[in-house]
Amino acid sequence: MNISEPIERLWGGRFKSGPSAALKALSRSEPSFFRLAPYDLAGSRAHAQELRRAGILGDDELQRLLAEMDRLQAQFLAGEIGPSDDDEDVHTFLERELTQRLGATGGKLRAGRSRNDQAANDLRLYLRAKARTLSHAVIDLQRALTEQASRHVHSVTAGFTHLQPAQPVVFAHHLLAHAQSIYRDIDRLADWDRRSARSPLGAAALAGSAICLHPELSAVELGYDAPCENSIDAVAARDHVAEFAFVASMLAVNLSRLSEEVILWTSRQFAWVVLDDGYATGSSIMPQKKNSDIAELTRGKAGRLIGNLGGLLATLKSLPLAYNRDLAEDKSAVFDSIDTLELVLPAMAGMIRTMRVDVDEMRRQAPLGFTLATEVADWLALRGVPFSEAHEITGALVRRCEEQGIELAQVSAATLTEVDARLDASVLAHLTLEAAVAARSGFGGTAPARVEEQIARLSAALDRQSAWADDYKGPSW
């Protein structure tokens, strides 16, 4: 082989023949992996600066490399160039392009690094950038939830346990319960980022580089907090990828739970919510149907994201240190999860923002199923009756109402005293929906005043999360 000719792969000098067609087919990166090209170029720019510090590149060579990498990236993002069938991976693709354009200068860029630290760095940079873009999409959904909640601070509905009517709540409080769980998902991304802001560049294959001796400078240039502490761990670790996959799957689970409730709310049996026509579908055979397909698709895709996490953990569980080719599976898991969330989140936000809530129907249903029973037990307890007794008395009252075919608010004073002498007509003032929700006035309760405070706190917290997502110093496209 003439070593001055452009290379087709980044290895092979000790081999007498090239790889078989079967090996090439198996070894070639999946097409989606080439999305990492801009991040690989970002790492290459930082690496070129390190090679200049090591004396391997001169000032002119460095400037030529940086300028050509900028052109290469612009052409790639514009769709003007792409990998060939012979490019094994993104690293081969980019080195081939640079070598064809710059000759020997392009080939110098490989000194002092390995595909191992390149691959680890590319994915870290990509995930750190995606943590921010996903956060913005989640925050938009959160804004939709808080906008709806603001309209329904005084809209009373039935709260459920075991999918049975339990106690009255305001609908805003129920919406905010979903918003609070999703809020923690963004917190998880920020917390994940704090642990993942370590650069693997300079680790080379596993032992560190004898040429690139200042990885802390490359780390700062790429927006990391510092380099990885251990060069073996830098190329072998994928717990940060698994953790990202967990956060993505937890977010998907929370979205699925919200979706399940939207499906219930829009059913004829509940009839609480009507979806905007732009965020619903129909039936090919039943003209009357209006289906909550966004919610159903989101619920279904949650299983896929859980599977991505499980598959990645299974791949990692028995791998020895340091790098093994099995680790190429890390990208398949998180790329699919990210792509799925980027489809789901805008659709969910639009669906929630535009849905119409039937306040009157929710109110009609709110007291059904004796949801005000706890008010009787609490009323007795506040008058010195042990709650165990209050519970029994209230149960007997509910049974009497069932026999008479009435709700608690319709009970007569005579029936109250028949059930227990400690019950009198003054309890009836507490058997209203407004009284029930107003009584839950402790921090985190469903009283409208507390819910308004919760909306204000959540809105401020979302502003802080948005500021975190905006304040990213690393490369992003």
Six token digits for residue 63: 């400037």
What token pair was written down for 421? 């002498």
- For residue 16, the model assigns a pLDDT of 76
* Domains parsed from the chain with CATH numbers: 21-111 (1.10.275.10), 116-152+170-357 (1.20.200.10), 373-431 (1.10.40.30)
Q: By the 8 A CB rule, do 201 and 47 touch?
A: yes
Using CB atoms within 10 Å of the CB of residue 338, give its burial: 0 to 12 exposed, 13 to 18 middle, 19+ buried: buried
Relative to beta strand 198-199, strand 164-170 is unpaired
Q: Please tell me the distance from the alpha carbon of residue 390 to that of residue 376, in angstroms, as a whole number.
A: 8
Share of the chain above pLDDT 90, in %: 93
Q: What is the pLDDT of residue 166?
A: 97
Question: Cα(238)–Cα(41) distance, rounded to whole angstroms?
Answer: 21
Is the torsion defined by CA of 29, 240, 136, 40 positive or negative? negative
Query: Can you tell me the mean pLDDT for 205-229?
Result: 97
- Residue 449: is the preceding peptide bond cis (ω within 30°)? no
Confidence of residue 14 (pLDDT cuts 50, 70, 90): confident
Query: What distance in Å separates the CA atoms of residue 97 and residue 119, rounded to the nearest whole number?
Result: 18
pLDDT higher than threshold 70 for residue 25: yes
Gap between the Cα atoms of 324 and 328, Å rounded: 8
Q: What is the full DSSP assignment across 245-290?
A: HHHHHHHHHHHHHHHHHHHHHTSTTT--EE--GGG-B--SS-TT--
Query: By three-state DSSP, how is residue 226 classified?
Result: strand
Q: Let me know: does 251 contact 186? Beta carbons within 8 Å.
A: no
- What's the mean pLDDT in 217-231? 98
Per DSSP, which regions of 372-412 are E strands?
Answer: none
Q: For residue 396, is pLDDT > 90?
A: yes
Sole residue written with tokens 């007997």: 396
Beta bridge partners of 165: 160
Mean pLDDT for the stretch of residues 278-294? 92
Distance in angstroms (rounded) separating the CA atoms of residues 392 and 408:
15
Reported confidence tier of residue 2, pLDDT bands at 50, 70, 90: very low
Q: Three-state secondary structure along 234-250?
A: HHHCCHHHHHHHHHHHH
Residue 10 has what pLDDT? Answer: 66
For residues 329 and 238, the answer to whether their CB atoms sit within 8 Å is no
The mean per-residue pLDDT over the stretch 329-356 comes to 98
Q: Determine the pLDDT at residue 12.
A: 63
Q: pTM higher than 0.95 for the full model?
A: no
- Is residue 226 a contact partner of residue 219, using CB atoms and an 8 Å limit? yes
What is the reported pLDDT for 6?
Answer: 46
Mean pLDDT, residues 398-427: 95
Q: Is the pLDDT of residue 221 over 70?
A: yes
- pLDDT bucket at 15, cuts 50 / 70 / 90: confident
Distances in whole angstroms, Cα of residue 119 to Cα of each of 76, 154, 234, 257, 425:
19, 53, 11, 35, 74
Q: State mean pLDDT over 60-87.
A: 97
Q: What pLDDT is attached to residue 227?
A: 98
> Which stretch of 206-220, 278-292, 423-437 has the lowest confidence by average pLDDT?
278-292
Q: With 50 as the cut, is the pLDDT of residue 81 above it?
A: yes
pLDDT at 240: 98
pLDDT at residue 17 in the model: 78
Q: How confident is the model at residue 446 (pLDDT cuts 50, 70, 90)?
A: very high
CA distance readout (Å), 42 to 37, 38, 293: 9, 6, 40
CA distances from 463 to 193, 349, 468 (A): 18, 17, 9
Share of the chain above pLDDT 70, in %: 97
Residue 96 pLDDT greater than 60, yes or no: yes
String of b and e for 379-406 (b: at least 16 CB within 10 Å)?
Answer: bbbeeebeeeebbebbeebbeebeeeee
Distance between CA atoms of residues 292 and 280, nearest Å? 5
Q: What is the mean pLDDT of the chain?
A: 95
Structural contact between residues 186 and 139, judged by C-beta atoms closer than 8 angstroms: yes
Confidence class for position 78, pLDDT limits 50, 70, 90:
very high
As annotated, the active-site residues are 162, 283
- Report d(CA 221, CA 225) in Å as an integer: 10
